[in-house]
C-alpha cells in the first residue's frame, strides 16, 4: 500500500531462518512445532514461484500472520494474494478499546485475487466473536482494492485520496481501517476522514487495530 512504512526493516536481528525449507504461513510453523509459543519475524513462502518473505508470526495464538497493525504497516497486496491462495485462511480483525477491551470479527475463507483482478477480496462467511463482538465492514464481496492512484471504489470520488489510505472502499463516507490512529485521550471516533475507524457500538475511538491471517482457527460461525 502506498505510503505505509515497513517496521520490519530494522528488525533483521529478530529474523529466524529455516535453511532447508520455509513454511507456507505462520500456521504451518505452529502446527509443526517449529516455533512453539514464540512470536517474531520469520521467513515464510506461500508459493514456490515466489521468493520467501518476512512475516510477523504470533505462534502463541495458533500461528497468526500479521497483515496490518495500527494503520502504519500493511503486508502488501501481492503477498496477501499468494498467502490467501496457498491455503484456506481466516482473516481476523482485532480492535482494542480502553472502555471495552478487545473486540473481534472473523472472515472465513478469505481470498485476495490477483493484481489483474484489482486485488479484489472474497470470503465464504463472516461473523463477530460471540463474547467480544466487533462490527462488519467488508460488506460487498468482490470489492477491489483502492489506493490514491488506483481508484477502484464504487464512488464518483476517490475514497483512498480522501481517507489518505488504501482499502477495499465502496463509498467515501464509511470507515477507514488503515487510517491514522487517534490519541489515547480521544474517547470517540473523530470526524476526520483520515483517522483510523471501524464500526463499534457507541462510536468509540479505536486506538489499536490489528489484522491477522490464520489457517489454524476453528470456524465457529454460520
Asked, for residue 208, whether it belongs to a domain, the answer is yes
Assigned domain for 197 exists? yes
Q: Decide if 65 is inside a domain.
A: yes
User: 85, exposed or middle or buried, with CB in 10 Å at 0-12, 13-18, 19+?
Assistant: middle
In a domain, 222, yes or no: no
CATH (domain of 197): 3.90.215.10
pLDDT higher than threshold 80 for residue 55: yes
- Which pLDDT does position 36 carry in this prediction? 75
pLDDT at 37 over 70: yes
Given this model, what pLDDT does residue 216 score? Answer: 65
Give a yes or no: residue 1 inside a domain.
no
Q: Look up the domain containing 76 and give its range.
A: 7-214
- Count the domains in the chain: 1
pTM of the model: 0.85
Cell numbers 536481528 correspond to what residue? 13
- SS3 for 110? coil
**Under a CB-based contact definition with an 8 Å cutoff, are residues 59 and 29 in contact?**
yes
Task: Answer yes or no: is pLDDT of 134 > 60.
Answer: yes
221 in any annotated domain: no
Q: CA-to-CA distance for 95 and 14, rounded, in angstroms? A: 26
Q: Looking at the domain assignment, is residue 204 inside a domain?
A: yes
Answer yes or no: is 74 within a domain. yes
- Residue-wise pLDDT tens digits, 141-200: 999 999 999 999 999 999 999 999 999 999 998 899 999 999 989 999 999 999 999 998
Amino acid at each position: 500500500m502506498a505510503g505505509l512504512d515497513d517496521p520490519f526493516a530494522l528488525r533483521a536481528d529478530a529474523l529466524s531462518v529455516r535453511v532447508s525449507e520455509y513454511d507456507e504461513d505462520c500456521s504451518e510453523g505452529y502446527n509443526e512445532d517449529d516455533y512453539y509459543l514464540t512470536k517474531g519475524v520469520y521467513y515464510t513462502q506461500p508459493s514456490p514461484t515466489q521468493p520467501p518473505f518476512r512475516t510477523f508470526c504470533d505462534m502463541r495464538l495458533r500461528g497468526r500472520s500479521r497483515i496490518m497493525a495500527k494503520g502504519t504497516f500493511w503486508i502488501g497486496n501481492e503477498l496477501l494474494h499468494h498467502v490467501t491462495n496457498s491455503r484456506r485462511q481466516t482473516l481476523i480483525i482485532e480492535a482494542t478499546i480502553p472502555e471495552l477491551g478487545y473486540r473481534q470479527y472473523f472472515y472465513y475463507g478469505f481470498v485476495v485475487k490477483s493484481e489483474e483482478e484489482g486485488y479484489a477480496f472474497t470470503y465464504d462467511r463472516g461473523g463477530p466473536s460471540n463474547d467480544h463482538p466487533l462490527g462488519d465492514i467488508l460488506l460487498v464481496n468482490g470489492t477491489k482494492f483502492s489506493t490514491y492512484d488506483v481508484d477502484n471504489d464504487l464512488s464518483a470520488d476517490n475514497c483512498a485520496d480522501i481517507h489518505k489510505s488504501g482499502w477495499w472502499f465502496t463509498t467515501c463516507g464509511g470507515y477507514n481501517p488503515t487510517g491514522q490512529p487517534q490519541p489515547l485521550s480521544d474517547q470517540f471516533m473523530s470526524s476526520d476522514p483520515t483517522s483510523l475507524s471501524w464500526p463499534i457500538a457507541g462510536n468509540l475511538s479505536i486506538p489499536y487495530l490489528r489484522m491477522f491471517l490464520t489457517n489454524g482457527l476453528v470456524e465457529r460461525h454460520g
